[in-house]
Structure 1
């Protein structure tokens, strides 16, 4: 794993200062790159920049106020733009989070992450890391070099949330734009504004001046109540997403299947609708053992109803409930590590 750095006090401390330091929460920041570690050519570049340029030591040093919230140390796990996150990266990161969560000298974990696939990683951690300790995923929409950059405050709020005992037992959390969202629910809904991440069911709470305020809690299964355990998972089966649209055809579905997909997420229109000209191919692929899971491409909330639009019972298909296509892919891949029974997979989609 990457080198560790610490943010603390000078060696010469009074007994009172030492006691105060010891009383602070111990928070580890795992850096993976992304815009929060990005840099632009000038302060005017808020949308044009290079991601994953700033190492974790400089990222932490840029927000010295973190030391007022917790004893913070950092590790550079990856240094990539998040659109390049593969299943292998997911598994490696989750295993590191799990290992840290088992340590008595760790009270909370923050993962800095690019925003493009942040919601997928947050959901994966929510499903696979068995801990009650806070896991907080954070990113930014503007690089640190930009005017009104949002990364420093986002990171400050993320550490505040990870350090707070009130954050325990709520699953993975995403903290951005002063809001605390569930890693299960939240999605990137706009690609240019700082309020980019929203949950269709509302945020869990807020962070104001380093203090957390909570309004609701997740009810779906997560972390310690999950049947998926990253310590027992070394690889994920291939699951791919094909998009529904006017004039759609079955080429993508067949190509993914030919390339080894074990399940296909149909990102359907409306209520996960499937075009008439695509249905025969999906039925044929299901007959060959490939799981077909209907999700919806709609933005802003809603869920796919079983046996509405398509006779799922007859076709032996699964519906993704309220999960968007990218999160449905994460859950389907994990489900396939345990079962290939469509009824059991449907149970999993309703419970998680």
Structure 2
């Protein structure tokens, strides 16, 4: 019997309705397999607690931990349910892994910040270095999930799996997607084949890489996609976990976590029709060490804005050209003379991830355009 065949039918495609924290507490006894039933299963030789992987669940809040709010239909407050309650509310997890849940924060991911990022990175690294866990699962809001995943992918060392998971519907929704997503995330983190793949995101039966995943819809549970590469795997209720590529040949760049937060100030400037230089000049006046252009098309912008970026680069401000377009690569020296202006192109990274990498590079003392460009293309 495989781990997946033990998965409760109610979680194979749709999530459990979770009405409130009190209801969760009352339902735990009926939702989670009892100690007696578990002992009977182990006696049959189907599984043993001793050989289950140890998974550390780090909760940060988000919609997955949200509760309904009476202000409007469908309204909710993020981060109202603890990580421990989330774990206890999902049946069958005790047959997948030995779980330990810790609360890192209780915020909506629109409020995600460097302090929480550093706390996550430090706790994950500690758990791996001290052999406290075989894998880590992070519960997170969806709005900035991709940025947290990418940050951690660049600073956490080792080959043990780190999986980030969220939901588009709160825990109190009639068809909440959080429980099913959490079950699958723990499955993936528990699978030996997940080692060496860096930080992954698991939502809606898909496994996505931290570098490529992005949110594409405001409300749909199908919101997360990897536009340039597609999912790296799938979680199938019938067939188990299927990875689409081997880990051999995968390359990851790791940077030392700075001694303390915050990370250097890097601003994203969004390009648009009739754009002038004011947003760029304003960012520099407020101490930006780097500017990421969310450019039109292939990372381009207006003549006025481009001239302001050229002037900024001459003053030592790091300028990275990215694109506001959802997919595709930004290419050097096609529409813009990057070599002459000292610009960097983001390749496949969207503006929000290009900002994270620029922050880490500046914090690591990497400021020469040629070195910066090599870092942006390091995994290709």
TM-score where L is the length of structure 1: 0.91
1:322 counterpart SS class:
coil
Match of 1:302 among 306, 321, 328: 328
Kept in 2, the 8 Å contact 1:220–1:351? The answer is: no
Q: d(CA) in 2 for partners of 1:261 and 1:32?
A: 28
| Cα deviation, residue 9, structure 1 | 7.0
Q: Secondary structure at the match of 2:57?
A: strand
**How far off is 1:52 after superposition?**
0.9
Query: Residue 199 of structure 1: which of 201, 219, 226 is its match?
Result: 226
> Which residue, 28, 40, 46 being the options, matches 2:68?
40
Q: 2:346 aligns with which of 320, 325, 331?
A: 320
Q: Which residue of 1 is the match for residue 337 of structure 2?
A: 311
Question: Does the CA-based 8 Å contact 1:8-1:72 persist in structure 2?
Answer: no
| Partner-residue secondary structure (3-state), 1:351 | coil
Deviation at 1:233, TM superposition (A): 4.2
Deviation, 1:15, is 12
* Alignment correspondent of 2:25: none
Range with bigger deviation, 126-135 or 86-95? 86-95
2:274 is matched with which residue? 247
Residues 284-307 of structure 1: CA distance to partner in whole angstroms, max 9, x if unpaired?
1111110110000001x1010001
Q: What's 1:23 paired with?
A: 51
Which of 192, 201, 210 is 1:174 aligned to?
201
State the partner residue of 2:134.
Answer: 107
Q: Which moved more, 1:84-93 or 1:133-142?
A: 84-93
Return the TM-score normalized by structure 2: 0.84
Q: How far, CA to CA, are the matches of 1:8 and 1:71 in structure 2? A: 14
Alpha-carbon spacing, 1:109–1:8, altered in 2? closer, same or farther (3 Å):
farther
195 and 217 in structure 1: CA distance in 2 versus 1, 3 angstrom threshold = farther
Q: 3-state DSSP class of the match of 2:331? A: coil
- 1:165 aligns with 192
Question: Does the 8 Å contact 2:104/2:116 carry over to 1?
Answer: no
**Structure 1 segments of 4 or more deviating over 4 A?**
7-19, 217-220
- Whether contact under 8 Å (2:57, 2:139) holds in the other structure is yes
Q: Which stretch of structure 1 is more off in the superposition, 153-162 or 235-244?
A: 235-244
Contact 2:150 2:210 in 1 (8 A): yes
Match of 2:26 in 1: none
Number of residues of Structure 1 aligned to a counterpart in Structure 2: 339
| Equivalent position SS for 2:355 | helix
Distance 1:16 1:69 in 2: 13
Q: 2:245 aligns with which of 206, 213, 216?
A: 216
Q: Do the aligned partners of 1:179 and 1:207 also contact (CA within 8 Å) in 2?
A: yes
1:50 alignment counterpart = 77
Q: C-alpha offsets along residues 214-235 of structure 1, whole Å, 9 cap, x if unaligned? A: 112576632xxx34033x5423
Instruction: Report the CA distance shift for 1:84/1:310 in structure 2 as closer, same or farther (over 3 A).
Output: same
Instruction: Find the residue that maps to 2:321 and give its secondary structure.
Output: strand
Unmatched runs of 5 consecutive residues or more in structure 1: 1-6
- What is the correspondence of 1:1-352 to structure 2 with a 5 Å cutoff? 10=35, 20-41=48-69, 45-46=73-74, 48-200=75-227, 201-209=229-237, 211-216=240-245, 221-222=251-252, 226-230=253-257, 233-235=259-261, 236-299=263-326, 301-338=327-364, 339-352=366-379
Aligned-residue CA RMSD (Å): 2.2
